[in-house]
Structures are given as C-alpha cells and as structure tokens.
Amino acid sequence: MSSLDISKLFSVQGLVAVVTGGGTGIGLMIARALEHNGAKVYILGRREAILKTAAKQNAIHGNLIPVVADVTDKESLDAVVSRIKEETGYINLLVNNAGTIGRRHNAITRPPPFSDVPGQFVHEKDEHDLTTVDGIRDFLWKDEVSDWDNTLRTNISGVWFPSIAFLSLLNQGNEKRNVIQTSQIVTIGSIGAFIRILGTSFTYNPSKAAANHLAKMMATNFVQWGIRSNVIAPGIYPSEMSVGRGNLDKMNRNHIPIAIPVEEIPMGHAGDEEDMAAAILFLASSGGKYMNGNVVVTDGGRLGISPAVY
C-alpha cells in the first residue's frame, strides 16, 4: 500500500549526492537542503577555502564534504569519482550547478515596451553611444571568442562531462537500492534558456538553452539504465552571478536586497532558499521519482510576462 506520509514522500534520508558549484549561491542552497534532511553531500568547486568554509558553517549532520574539482577537466573529475567510489561506492544524485555568465551586455537598453521596466540588473555605463546601431556594434564587438568559449565550456561541457564521469556511480546507486527512487541527474538551468529579451548576456541564455536540451537528451538515452535527468530552471535568485555575493550571508541568505517590481517579477521578489530547497527536495525524493526529462521552472511568474519560447 502506498504511503501518503509527507515525511516519506519527500525524504532524502540516506541519499548520496554530488553538487557541483556547491560552495556558494544556488549550489549551496541545494547542498544545505539535502544535508539538513539526511543526505550525504559532496560539494565540488575550484576554490578550496570557500568549499571548506561552506561545509564548516552549513553542515548540521557533518555530511557536507568539500572536494576541489574542475567540472571542465577530465582528470579532475576522474579523481573525484575515484575518491567517492572508494568512500561510498555509489551516488544517487548528481546536481550539475556550476555555471558562469560571461561578459555582461546589460549596458544595452531593453527594447520597448520593456525599456522602462526597472530590471534586476542596473544598466552599466559604457563609452559607446548605445542609442545607435554603430555604437551597439562597437560595444558587442569587444567580445572575444574566448569569452564565448569559456561560457559554453562551463555551462555545457560542465554539464556533460560530470554527468558521464559519474554515470557508473549513478548506476551503482540503482544497484544499491538504498532509496526508493532511481538515480538522477539534475541540471540547474535558467529561465534565460527561454527568455528572448536581454537580461545580462547574449552568451548566457543560449548556453542554458543548450544545457536544457542536453539534459533532455540524457533523459531519453540514459533511462534504459534507470538513470533519470531533469532540470531546475531558476529565475532571479541570490548568487554570485546575480548579486556578486554568493556566500549566503545574513544579507542575502533569503533574499536579494534589491526591490523587484511586479513588472519584472509578478510575485514582487526574488526566489529564496526555501523556494530552491522545495524544488530540489521534490525532485530528489521519492515524490519526484516519476519525473524524467522535465524542466521545473521556479521564477515567480517572470516567464509569463516576458517574450519567451517556454
């Protein structure tokens, strides 16, 4: 007989998870939510000091494990996989969270009727006349190919290579059957994958659209081994990319300290830690065990009022 007990439906007790970019921002929100509810969570990132501080300050069960790793380096990923294989022998969940925006383009004013809507991001000053096509051309021509390469490398390769690196450990999670739900890859995308209007960068949005499609391809092709793939697409949340401070200190643990008008987000505020915790606890628990190839949007209604392909 099925159980409708909420503590069982959404339990992550005993789950073993890996969260890339887990030392700050959304990654840390996710790691905290999982660890506080009984999961063992390896948090990956390139900055050892930040990872260690995050683990020390946020673990309540002693199960946030900091591991230095580069999601775009195969040798680095192999080393992490070898360590976890030795320590636990399996994982149940991989969260691909590491990401970057690239060079910002938000000095360009939005087109009508959105030009008068106060946005989250203050329009940066630039020496070019951005009221003319020539000025915009010169501003955008300052992009380097390496800027685009770096964003695509992190936001797409940084999803693909960790997913493949941990594939065998995810399969071992299914063999272990320590939890009801089958193993899963959750990719942290963005509503930028759907929005056509410029938010911060012409680089970021298409990179996230590609990450979404990659996640759906993995859902279709890995399900034969019982490995699922889903996406969480956040709107505006506190992170290093959105406000420059991703350490979840007292000023931004649950909010971005900037007024966001309903013309920008119908609910009038940014997402907070509880919103992100609810999303990951749903997907990661048995409550989300029937989900595969889905995109869970958590954006306060922003997509509903923006030019978008969602």
Residue 289: give the domain boundaries: 6-103+152-305
Tens of pLDDT, residue by residue over 116-132, are: 665 544 445 567 788 89
Is 121 inside a domain boundary? no
CATH number at residue 178: 3.40.50.720
The pTM (predicted TM-score) of the whole model is 0.92
Q: What tens digit of pLDDT does each residue of 176-231 get?
A: 999 999 999 999 999 999 999 888 899 999 999 999 999 999 999 999 999 999 99
Asked whether residue 264 is domain-assigned, the answer is: yes
Residue 235 lies inside a defined structural domain of this protein: yes
Q: What value does the mean pLDDT take over residues 44-69? A: 97
- The answer to whether residue 127 is domain-embedded is no
For residue 170, pLDDT over 90 is answered with yes
Strands 40-45 and 295-298: unpaired
Report pLDDT for 53. Answer: 97
Give domain status of residue 294, yes or no.
yes
* Residue 231 belongs to some domain of the structure: yes
Whether the predicted pLDDT of 254 surpasses 70: no
pLDDT in the model for residue 250: 43
Domain-embedded: residue 269? yes
Q: Does pLDDT of 157 surpass 90? A: yes
Number of separate domains in the chain: 1
